[in-house]
Amino acid sequence: MTASHLAPYVNSIPGRRVVIAHSLGTMVAAAAIQDYGMQVEKLIMLNSAIPSEAFDPALFNPDPQNHLVHDDWMDYTNVCWTARWNELFAANDSRSQLTWRGRFANVASVAVNFYSSGDEVLEIYTASHNPSVAAGVNPSGHWGDRYSWHKQELYKGRRWLLAFMGTTHWSGWGFRMHDSGYRLWYPQQANAVQDVSVFSTNMVFNPYPSSIMNPSQSRLEIDSHLAQGIPALSPPTGRTRFSDDLIQSIDMNMLAFKPNEWPRPPAAVGSDDLGDNWLHSDVKDVAYFYTHKVFEKIVEVGGLR
């Protein structure tokens, strides 16, 4: 909804237009370009929270070993996962658009990706297959900011008493259940299905809310399901270096962009401290004295001199 208001406002501004957006703001700006015709020369994305497959579908990874796959689904054939359900429908059926793959394909040509290999919010947890609720919750880890994007994707459809924050009831990694409280499908049953079109109407995941079954969803409805119920199977853009021929990517965590002795010291050996990493909101939280090299690069790539 916000994107539909942003596009005409930006288009009303005369002259060259360069939009700079941070974190979830990049989603709004990308939607304004993709869906509502916002005309910009550059979209400069800082620590973008968009799944990288939205720009490069090849980054979609349905391997059960992918850390973005929920533990409980690793033994199920991936053709029954919510993230692949869209493949069961024809292009003229709006359910075919319930995927992050290529969602912002038309934006790549104007995008510049300022990512950080040290971003704690967008970091993918790899110490075990999935992060626990408490992973990253410690004083040196910014009290739970760490891995929060990863948890957001894993907890789609998995709302429960101790993990209510950032979780949803919407499809995702939730299971369709009998009234008795047992799963409708177990791995051996789902994996034995020969005709996968069965899963188009007899889902393994929880088809909630019922609007997910509507073949004529509006753009707003599709995006609501993407945001709350369709898990990403690719890392976030703000932790991704794209191929140079797709999107120019600049790692703000490089020493060259942290002059004047970064205000946080490097982490001690063996410590879980985030040390001198360029964190998710450092572009606005750290003084210009330390961050000015990034702003100078923004001016350069945006042609803003």
Cα gap 51→45, rounded to integer Å = 13
Which pLDDT band holds residue 260 (cuts at 50, 70, 90)?
very high
DSSP letter at 192? T
**In the prediction, which pLDDT does 133 show?**
81
Please report the pLDDT score of residue 140 as a whole number.
59
Residue 139 has a pLDDT of 63
What's the mean pLDDT when you consider all of the chain? 94
Model's pTM, two decimal places? 0.94
Burial bucket for residue 218 (CB in 10 Å: 0-12, 13-18, 19+): exposed
Q: Nearest CA to 184 among 202, 169, 171?
A: 202
CA 59 to mean position of chain CA atoms: 12
Nearest to 31 by CA among 5, 58, 9: 5
pLDDT range class, residue 273, cuts 50, 70, 90: confident
Q: Where are the domains of the chain?
A: 2-301
| The predicted structure's pLDDT at residue 163 | 55
Q: What percent of the chain has pLDDT over 70?
A: 96
Which residues in 276-288 are b (16+ Cβ under 10 Å) and which e?
bbbbbbbbeebee
Question: Considering Cα of 83, then 84, then 85, then 91, what sign does the dihedral take?
Answer: positive
pLDDT-derived band at 305 (thresholds 50, 70, 90) equals confident
Distance between CA atoms of 158 and 174, rounded to whole angstroms?
5
pLDDT mean over 153-165: 77
In the block, tokens 């982490």 appear at 267
- DSSP H helical ranges for the chain: 2-11, 25-36, 148-154, 187-191, 219-229, 282-285, 288-301
The band of 20, judged by pLDDT with boundaries at 50, 70 and 90, is very high
